[in-house]
Amino acid sequence: MKDVLLTILRDRQSSTAEFRRASDQLAALVCAEALAKLPHSTVTVTTPLAPAEGLKPAGSVMFVPIIRAGLALLPAFLFAVPDAPVALVGMQRDEVTAQPGLYYQKFPADLPDRAIILDPMLATGGSSLLVVDLLQGIGYTPGNIYHAGVLASGEGLQRLSAGIPEANITVVAVDPGLDGRKFIFPGLGDYGDRYFGT
């Protein structure tokens, strides 16, 4: 299933609607895998049909989408954990240096136990590492910081795993490397542009 959805995302001919549909379905799968890495407790959930046993994250979790592409993953995570607070981090990539520039950050007053960074593309790792630094600055330890995305380059994955445990990183696929502009190769283009139709 993941391979089929990823193929749609990689296809240059996929329309915005097709890209969004595939992205939303893939986000639900990424969400399930990322949440499964958190410590869990068993809970009884009462549904209209019958009580059911399920798992929910032990302690609280905060989602940290990196604006703009990270917003594409957010609905799936909020559907799974509807009471989770959301911190927003806005970054703009300098197209010459490929370095992230922070222009916005907003964190909740009461910080949950764990944070999951949401960013579909882990290219150089610079944006996610900047968020890791922000989270550590407000008291998070590397072991309580997670990352959820769709694609990573080998280089980005290696850089991020120097900041948080590699076991805390969830991606669908790892592509061989980066092109001359520091975009994931072969990649799938600019995720935010394709998801938001810009």
Its pTM stands at 0.89
Q: What is the CATH number of domain 2-196?
A: 3.40.50.2020
Task: Inform me whether the pLDDT recorded for 60 exceeds 60.
Answer: yes
Percent of the chain with pLDDT over 90: 80
Q: What residues act catalytically?
A: 93, 97, 190, 193
What is the DSSP secondary structure assignment for residue 183, as one 8-state letter? -
State the residue for tokens 């922000």: 134
Task: Inform me whether the pLDDT recorded for 18 exceeds 80.
Answer: yes
What are the backbone angles phi and psi of residue 117, rounded to the nearest 5°?
Answer: -75, 130
Structure tokens at 198: 């810009």
Task: Inform me whether the pLDDT recorded for 94 exceeds 50.
Answer: yes
Residue 93 or 56, more confident: 93
Mean pLDDT of the chain: 90
Q: What is the pLDDT of residue 161?
A: 97
Domain ranges in the chain are: 2-196
Task: Inform me whether the pLDDT recorded for 57 exceeds 80.
Answer: no
Prior bond to 165 cis, omega within 30? no
CB 156 within 8 A of CB 127: no
| Digit-coded pLDDT (tens) for 115-174 | 999 999 999 999 999 999 999 999 999 999 999 999 999 999 999 999 999 999 999 999
Q: What is the pLDDT of residue 98?
A: 72
| Digit-coded pLDDT (tens) for 61-93 | 999 999 999 999 999 999 999 999 999 999 987
Q: Tell me the C-alpha distance between 164 and 145, whole Å.
A: 7
